[in-house]
């Protein structure tokens, strides 16, 4: 079973040289820590940065330079700054190659819910709806089972949707799944120490076991 | 050259009345018009419909105008960091319209560019789409559904820039740019407060982000607090 860093580490293997990548808040942010040095990847932050760098050194924080999570950050060589309309323009025009974001629920047809729990949490969707509606390739980083032991990989989402038919891949503490165009979670990798039986118990939606399912190498 | 300079926030906000729609630039607490927000508290303007990506925090930014119950309705994409906001929303005192961030930005842009509507895929198949026209378009080799969204109409747009000149031209700094340029172009009356106001001619025309034609009133603000919402740092070595 993977911890948060493990999930981030596995997702980092999907990041390829030359990609522009948007990382959501939470586990996705951790992915940046596992991108191999020497690989040219530019991180996009939807409040208006391409080429976002790590947190600043103590005492060097700049109130005018934050990421989409409102954290102080830095800029790397070759970075650029733009306004919010252009930021979502490049997202809509599919210039950003890969989007990695968290989810509360994913359905077997690639729907995602991650912005609202009616009556409980109503913070807003931020840029998530724009990202999932337009991104070429979206990977979800999430916990597969909630605290009550219920699966969050579902036949159909219960929570209000963020986007429909948009998720291509899900990485959880238990495994890696491709979402099939005809519907279903295709298990392609299991996390170390996790069996296919464990995964069957933790998947409420349609599960397809790949013939070539293997243990994750991380 | 047309001179756009006013003395201060008080003069800049002349004509702001109760029950108007007002855009506020900024993302979180970054690039918010601190002087004008304080002035609106002094003025006690009520019934504001605020278009702003966020709602500040409890004791700073638009959170201040929520505390004084001057805001009737918020149109935002994310309002997570504000307890008073949540309380007012759940009790029904405050009307809230949550919309996708890119939709918010582009509805400002539509107003700025004289286009009544835009089509965006954001929110298709979700509760954001309820009651909206949906059309199919082919774009980038793909046919998919888009929602029709209207340009915003704001009585005032209040923005913050880094530098401005007496002709109203604006330059923003770093990610404090965010929603400020689009909102600056989208107000029926646009008010810009700047950290440094310089005589016309001192800014390089090639470096200007927002031309003065969009900016009706400009003044140099003071006492900027520039509060940081999430101070994240790393240790040297």
Report d(CA B132, CA B128) in Å as an integer: 8
B187 interfaces chain A, CB cutoff of 8 Å: no
Report d(CA B184, CA B112) in Å as an integer: 8
Report d(CA A11, CA A191) in Å as an integer: 12
The residues of A assigned a catalytic role are 46
Residue A56 lies in a domain: no
pLDDT above 80 for B154: yes
Residue A178's closest CA among A134, A138, A128, A218?
A: A138
- pLDDT at residue A160 in the model: 97
Q: Which two tokens stand for residue B85?
A: 């906001």
- Sequence-distant (6+) residues with CB within 8 A of A2 are A9, A10, A172, A173, A174, A191, A192, A216, A218
Report d(CA A148, CA B14) in Å as an integer: 56
Which pLDDT band holds residue B99 (cuts at 50, 70, 90)?
Answer: very high
Which pLDDT band holds residue B87 (cuts at 50, 70, 90)?
Answer: confident
B42 interfaces chain A, CB cutoff of 8 Å: no
Residue A124 lies in a domain: yes
Report d(CA A143, CA B117) in Å as an integer: 39
- pLDDT at residue A78 in the model: 96
Residue A147 lies in a domain: yes
> Tokens 């464990």 — which residue?
A198
Of A85, A111, A133, the CB nearest to B106: A85
pLDDT above 80 for B81: no
Q: What is the mean pLDDT of chain B?
A: 96
Q: Which two tokens stand for residue B229?
A: 């919402």
Report d(CA A32, CA B172) in Å as an integer: 28
CB contact under 8 A, B125 and A54: no
Per cent of chain A over pLDDT 90 is 91
CB contact under 8 A, B175 and A49: yes
Segment B177-203, tens digit of pLDDT = 999 999 999 999 999 999 999 999 999
ipTM of the complex: 0.96
3-state secondary structure B184-235: HHHEEEEEEEEEEEECCCCCCHHHCCECHHHCCEEEECCCCCCCCCECCCEC
- How many structural domains comprise chain A? 1
Which pLDDT band holds residue B82 (cuts at 50, 70, 90)?
Answer: confident
Assess contact for A40 and A59: CB atoms under 8 A.
Answer: no
The Cα-based distances of B92 to A85, A192, B88, B127 in angstroms read 31, 49, 6, 19
Of A55, A130, A165, the CB nearest to B102: A130
- pLDDT at residue A18 in the model: 96
CB contact under 8 A, A81 and B28: no
Helix (H), strand (E) at residue B149? strand B142-150
Assess contact for A67 and A74: CB atoms under 8 A.
Answer: no
Segment A162-204, tens digit of pLDDT = 999 999 999 999 999 999 999 999 999 999 999 999 999 999 9
Report d(CA A162, CA A164) in Å as an integer: 7
B226 interfaces chain A, CB cutoff of 8 Å: yes
Handedness of CA A168, A173, A176, A178 (dihedral sign): negative
- pLDDT at residue A121 in the model: 76
Segment A77-131, tens digit of pLDDT = 999 999 999 999 999 999 999 999 999 999 999 999 999 998 887 889 999 999 9
The B residues from 80 to 119 touching A (CB cutoff 8 Å) are 80-81, 86, 89, 96, 98-106, 108-109
A66 interfaces chain B, CB cutoff of 8 Å: yes
Report d(CA A79, CA A160) in Å as an integer: 36
A141 interfaces chain B, CB cutoff of 8 Å: no
Q: What residue of B is the nearest CA neighbor of A52?
A: B175
Segment B37-71, tens digit of pLDDT = 999 999 999 999 999 999 999 999 999 999 999 99
Q: Which domain holds residue A179?
A: 4-39+94-215
Residue A73 lies in a domain: no
Segment A133-147, tens digit of pLDDT = 999 899 999 999 998
Report d(CA A126, CA B101) in Å as an integer: 5
Pick the more confident residue, B114 or B1.
B114
CB contact under 8 A, B125 and A111: yes
* Contacting residues of B for A62, CB less than 8 Å apart: 174
Residue A199 lies in a domain: yes
CA atoms within 13 A on the CB side of B136: 4
The rounded radius of gyration (Å) of the Cα atoms in chain B is 18
Of A47, A94, A161, the CB nearest to B178: A47
B6 min Cα distance to partner chain A (Å): 25
CATH, residue A135: 3.40.1080.10
B207 interfaces chain A, CB cutoff of 8 Å: no
- pLDDT at residue A122 in the model: 81
Interface residue of B33, B77, B137, B175 to substitute, partner A, most A CBs within 10 Å: B175
CB contact under 8 A, A124 and B105: no
pLDDT above 80 for B237: no
Segment A1-27, tens digit of pLDDT = 999 999 999 999 999 999 999 999 889
- pLDDT at residue A29 in the model: 92
Give this prediction's pTM.
0.96
CB contact under 8 A, B182 and A126: no
Which pLDDT band holds residue B83 (cuts at 50, 70, 90)?
Answer: confident
* Torsions phi, psi for A80 (to 5 deg): -145, 160
């Amino acid at each position: 079973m993977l911890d948060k860093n493990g999930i981030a580490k596995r997702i980092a293997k999907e990041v390829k040289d030359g990609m522009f990548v948007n990382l959501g808040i939470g586990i996705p942010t951790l992915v940046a820590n596992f991108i191999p040095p020497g690989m040219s990847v530019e991180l996009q932050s939807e409040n208006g940065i391409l080429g976002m760098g790590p947190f600043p050194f103590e005492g060097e924080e700049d109130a005018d330079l934050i990421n989409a999570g409102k954290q102080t950050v830095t800029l790397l060589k070759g970075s650029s700054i733009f306004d919010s309309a252009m930021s979502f323009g490049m997202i809509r025009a599919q210039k950003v190659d890969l989007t990695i974001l968290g989810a509360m629920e994913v359905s077997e047809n690639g729907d995602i819910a991650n912005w609202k729990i009616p009556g409980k949490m109503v913070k807003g969707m931020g840029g998530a709806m724009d990202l999932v509606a337009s991104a070429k390739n979206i990977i979800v980083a999430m916990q597969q089972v909630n605290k009550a032991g219920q699966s969050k990989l579902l036949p159909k989402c219960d929570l209000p949707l963020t986007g429909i038919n948009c998720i291509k891949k899900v990485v959880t503490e238990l495994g890696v799944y491709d979402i099939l165009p005809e519907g279903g979670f295709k298990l392609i990798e299991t996390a170390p120490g996790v069996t296919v039986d464990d995964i069957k118990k933790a998947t409420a939606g349609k599960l397809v076991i790949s013939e070539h399912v293997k243990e994750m190498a991380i | 050259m047309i001179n756009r300079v006013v003395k201060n926030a008080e003069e800049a906000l002349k004509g702001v009345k109760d029950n108007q729609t007002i855009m506020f630039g900024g993302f979180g607490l970054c690039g918010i018009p601190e002087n004008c927000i304080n002035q609106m508290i002094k003025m006690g303007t009520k019934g504001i419909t605020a278009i702003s990506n966020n709602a500040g925090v409890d004791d700073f930014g638009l959170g201040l105008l929520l505390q004084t119950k001057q805001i009737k309705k918020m149109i935002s994409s994310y309002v997570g960091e504000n307890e008073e906001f949540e309380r007012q929303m759940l009790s029904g005192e405050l009307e809230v319209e949550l919309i996708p961030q890119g939709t918010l930005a582009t509805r400002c842009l539509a107003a700025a560019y004289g286009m009544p509507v835009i089509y965006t895929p954001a929110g298709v198949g979700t509760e954001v789409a309820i009651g909206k026209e949906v059309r199919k378009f082919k774009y980038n080799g793909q046919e998919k559904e888009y929602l029709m969204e209207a340009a915003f109409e704001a009585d005032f747009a209040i923005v913050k820039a880094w530098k401005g000149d007496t002709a109203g031209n604006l330059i923003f700094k770093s990610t404090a740019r965010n929603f400020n340029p689009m909102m600056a172009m989208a107000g029926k009356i646009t008010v810009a407060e700047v950290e440094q106001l310089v005589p016309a001619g001192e800014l390089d025309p090639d470096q200007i982000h927002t031309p003065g034609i969009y900016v009706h009133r400009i003044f140099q603000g003071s006492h900027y607090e520039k509060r940081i919402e999430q101070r994240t740092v790393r240790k040297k070595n």
